[in-house]
Structure formats: C-alpha cells, structure tokens
Amino acid sequence: MSVAPDVTVALQGRFFGDLPELGVRWQAETFPDLRLLAFDEALADELGLDAAWLRGPDGLRFLVGALVPDGATPVAQAYAGHQFGGYVPRLGDGRALLLGELADADGRLRDIHLKGSGPTPFARGGDGLAAVGPMLREYVISAAMHALGVPTTRSLAVVSTGRPVQRETLLPGAVLTRVAASHLRVGSFQYASATGDLDLLRRLADHAIDRHYPGAAMTDHPYLALFESVAAVQASLVARWMLIGFVHGVMNTDNMTVSGETIDYGPCAFMEAYHPDTVFSSIDEWGRYAYDNQPVMAAWNLARFAEALLPLLADNVDEGVALAENAFAVFRAQYDHTWASGMRAKLGLSGDLDAATVTSLADDVLALLKASRVDYTSFFRGLSHAARGDAEGTRGLFADLAGIDEWIARWRALGPDAALMDRSNPIYIPRNHLVEEALSAATDGEQRPLERLLAAITDPYAERPGFERYAAPAPDDFGDYRTFCGT
Ligand code: AMP
Ligand code: MG
C-alpha cells in the first residue's frame, strides 16, 4: 500500500466515522498484473475523476485498492441477512471493501467500493476473490439497468488481476470498482439491531436519514419516516424491475439497499418468453425469488427492516408493530402507482387514463403473452407498429388470434401514441445468450463482443442498423437458462 502525492481522489470516511462498530479496517490484496477490461468514462466524469489518470498505472492501482488516497480508510462492512428466508447473523463484506465516499460533480456522496479485493474477516472460508466473468456480468447488467432508468449501483471499472481464481475450473480473476449512493442494506440494520446496542441502531438510522432522506429528520417521527421512505423507494424499484422483465434472483435482505438502488448482481437475468414463474437461479428451487414473487418478497424484506427498527419506532412492541403495519400502505400504493404509470407509457396511453383501465388492459395482454410464450421485450417494442396501423407482426406472435385481435381493438380505441411507446419500450436488453457470449469471449481475452453488447444496451431505445441480433430472442438451441450463485 502506498500513497502517491499526485492522487486527487478526495475520499471521505463518513460511514466508518459515524459507525465504527459496523466496519473493520482492512486492505485489499495486492495483485500481480492489472489490466483494464471495462471502464465507464461517463461515470468517471460524473464523479469528477480524471479518466486518463484512472487508465494509467496509478489509476489502475487505485481501482483495485492497491493505491489508497491519503486520508482514506478502506473498511469491510458488517451486516446480517435473511438468505432464502433463513437468518444469518454475520455476513458482511467477505470479498469487498468500502474505500470511502466521494462527493460527485453534483455534490452528492457516492460510495467507492471494491468487489473481489481479497478475503476479509467476514470471508467465512471463501477466497475473497472474484472471476472476470461474474464481475463483467455485474458491469453489463448494471449498465443496462442505468440506461433503462432503473436505480442501480454503478460499475466504474473491471480490472483483471493476473491472479487465477479456483471455481469449478481455474478462471482469470478480476476486481469490480462499484459506485453506489451507499451500501446501507436492510441487513445492516438487522446486524445493528441484533447487537442490542440501541445507540448504535439510532446512529445507523440517523446516518441513513442524513445521507438519503434528510426530509425525514424534519418530521414528527423521523424513524417511521425513514421506514416509509425506504418502503416507497423499494416499491418503485421493484415495480420498475417488473416493467422491464428483470429477475434479481437473490433478494436476500443483505441484497436490499436502503437507498432504493438495485444491488448485488449475481444470478439475475432478463425474462424472455413471458411467464410469471420465471426463475433463473439454480439454487432457487422453490421459486422464492421468481419474477412474479418479487413484490411480495420485497414486502417480506421490509417487514424484516421494520422488525430491526422496532426499538426506535415506539417504546412498546405492540405500538411499534401497529405503526409499521400502517406504513405498509405506502409500499402497496407506491408499487401500484409506479407499475400502472409504467404500463400506461409502455402501452402508449394518455396520462389521463385511469389506473384501473390500464391495469386491466395490461393484465389481459399479459395473460395472452403467457399462453403463447411470447417474448416480453419484443412484444412491447413491436406493438408500436400496431399503434401505427400495422398489427401483422404482433398478431404473428400469438396462437390465440381471436384473443389478440379483440385486445388490439380495445387498446387501439384508446388512441395509443406510437412515439411514446418507442421511448418507453427498450429494443435492446442484455439477453442471456448474448451476455454469455460476451463474457466467455472476454474471459478468453477477446473484447469485441462485450464492446458490441455494451454499445447496444447502453442506448436501449434507439434502433440502429447492424444491431438486429441484439433485439432478437435467444435461438431455440440456447435452451432453458440457468444462473449460478458461485460467483
Ligand atoms: P452475495 O451472494 O454476493 O450477495 O454474497 C453473500 C455473502 O457471501 C456476502 O457476505 C459476501 O461477502 C460473501 N461472499 C460471496 N463470495 C465470496 C467469496 N468468494 N469469498 C468470500 N466471501 C464471499
Ligand atoms: Mg450480497
């Protein structure tokens, strides 16, 4: 670890300063051979970082935690979590470090965080490392989510380390440099609450309010307002996932942020043929985190958040539970609102149209999509042709022609706006077969497919010649897609 005099990255240590009990000072492992595999220059600009410096030798060392800016204190964060329903009291950053917080060009604080930077005291026997494929996967999917307007942690860079990682086979290793509004998780509150140290829990809640919901501090009941704020941002986040066909795959409470950003891209994937039961993760045997179950699971996680906050909500448990139960109305209302607004735009309908009409139209067409196993993304994108008067392409997707004709007639009578639809329905999403193709090529040292994929998905609404295969569903021989947690 060394400090270069010309480093201008001004990292703060707010988290560790406020909450020393929730972090362990640690340093990243040193790696033999650093190479930049992916780099988001626009994000570097947004952060006020010098892109040319980041690409150079000192910048690469900064991106993997080898060069720590003067005054910064890297820490592994402690958190607990319910994993697939079972409570694990001590998870924490087993292979990750918070380098510190950076004030971005707009003055907002952003966490600079590393994933795959070596084992920490929370590693629980894991090697603390990450392979190139999964780190590029997080890079690609988070870039797509951002371009689709979904709140997400961002990926600044993926740097290969020159150190092989043992998984089923020996794979090249990498570090992901992640940027987030914060890394406060529901599991952070569960951990603080379980210590029984009320002062710690209060400091954590105050830190979260200060960082994300300063308005809550001005209310009569700041901690209830904190809960309601998190319920609202999570409701709208999960509604957005549903609108784009995203399946997170591992919605454990340690993977749910207080900021409302999507975090920890592991076995996630985009649904192709519409089906509510879609599951990709090989370990999700019961479909706990299936596509259609995501809103219910988000609410379940928020109930765990409420439990963790109970000592701050009221002096007695019954009163606290009653307050939290009432606050759940916020979740339902915000979810319905975001989903109906999103569907209204996807269907090209006017802002005046009531939510009940939108919901019934959407539910009916989703039932038709399910029955004919129609590709979710290309259906909505292609539907703008039907709004312009040419419904043949859309009709061709369905077995039940009478059903879709009746639905199209009902919908067209409402005067859908085709241009609004093209702005609201992406043509390019990170389709699983294309992601796999890009990651395996990059793992073998061939960057071109990754660059093409990123070009498609970072501008997802603009149809461009030469990108036809990025708009098409997987070929039949790709088979059922499975993702794995051992990343
Ligand atoms: P995740 O599934 O990425 O959300 O990780 C769940 C927990 O396992 C977190 O506490 C991680 O830090 C930890 N973890 C995952 N992979 C590793 C690894 N290779 N070495 C150490 N800890 C890990
Ligand atoms: Mg996690």
Q: Is 167 within any annotated ligand binding site?
A: no
178 belongs to an annotated ligand binding site = yes
Instruction: For residue 385, give every residue at least 6 positions away whose Cβ sits within 8 Å of its Cβ, in sequence order, or none.
Output: 391, 393, 394, 418
CA 367–ligand 2 middle distance (angstroms): 33
CA neighbor of 1 nearest in space, from 59, 54, 64, 67: 67
Shortest CA distance to 27 belongs to which of 72, 74, 69, 61? 74
Question: Which element (helix H / strand E) includes 41?
Answer: helix 41-46
Q: What is the predicted pLDDT for the residue at 98?
A: 98
**Any idea which ligand is nearest the CA of 96?**
1
Task: Please name which ligand lies nearest the alpha carbon of 267.
Answer: 1
Please give the share of the chain, as a percent, with pLDDT higher than 90. Answer: 92
Ranges of H-type helices in 373-431: 376-387, 392-395, 401-412, 418-424
- In the predicted structure, residue 447 carries a pLDDT above the cut 90: yes
> How distant, in Å, are the alpha carbons of 67, 140, 144, 246, 278 from that of 456?
34, 11, 9, 17, 24
Known binder of ligand: residue 128? yes
- How far, in whole angstroms, is CA 156 from its chain's centroid? 14
CA 129 to ligand 1: nearest atom = 19
Confidence band of 1 (pLDDT split at 50, 70, 90) = very low
Residue 264 CA to ligand 2 center (angstroms) comes to 5
Query: In the predicted model, is pLDDT for residue 2 greater than 50?
Result: no
Dump pLDDT digits (tens) for 157-182: 999 999 999 999 999 999 999 999 99
Environment of ion ligand 2 (residues, CB < 5 A): 255, 264
187 is in an annotated binding site: no
- Nearest-atom number in ligand 1 for the CA of 127 is 20
Contacts of 389 by beta carbon, 8 Å cutoff, 6+ apart:
none
> Ligand 2 centroid to 424 CA: how many Å?
30
Closest Cα to atom 3, ligand 1: which residue? 264
**Closest approach atom of ligand 1 to CA 83:** 6
> How far is the centre of ligand 2, averaged over its atoms, from the C-alpha of 255 (Å)?
5
What pTM does this model have? 0.97
| Residue 52, token pair as written in the block | 């040319």
CA of 93 to the centre of ligand 1 (A): 7
- Residue 323's pLDDT is what? 87
Residue to mutate, 77, 83, 95, ligand 1, most ligand atoms under 8 Å from C-beta: 95
- Per-residue pLDDT, 192: 98
Q: Report the C-alpha gap between 105 and 417 in whole angstroms.
A: 36
**pLDDT higher at 322 or 368:** 368
The reply to whether 115 sits in an annotated binding site is yes
Percentage of the chain exceeding pLDDT 70: 98
pLDDT at residue 212 tops 50: yes
* Position in ligand 1 atom list of the atom nearest CA 93: 12
Which ligand has its closest atom nearest to the C-alpha of 250? 1
Which residues does the annotation mark as catalytic? 254
Single out the residue of 116, 160, 429 nearest to residue 264, CA to CA: 116
Q: Ligand nearest 487 Cα, by number?
A: 1
Question: Is residue 311 a contact partner of residue 403, using CB atoms and an 8 Å limit?
Answer: no
Which protein residue has the closest C-alpha to ligand 1 atom 23?
A: 94
Ligand 1 atom closest to the Cα of residue 91 is: 10
What is the CA(14)–ligand 1 centre distance, in A? 24
Nearest residue (CA) to ligand 1, atom 12: 94
Ligand 1: list residues with CB < 6 Å: 91-96, 119, 122-123, 126-129, 250, 255, 264, 266, 485
* Cα–Cα distance measured from residue 76 to residue 186, given in angstroms and rounded to the nearest whole number: 17
Q: pLDDT tens for residues 349-402? A: 999 999 999 999 999 999 999 999 999 999 999 999 999 999 999 999 999 999
pLDDT band at 26 (very low <50, low <70, confident <90, very high): very high
Whether residue 100 is annotated as binding a ligand: the answer is no
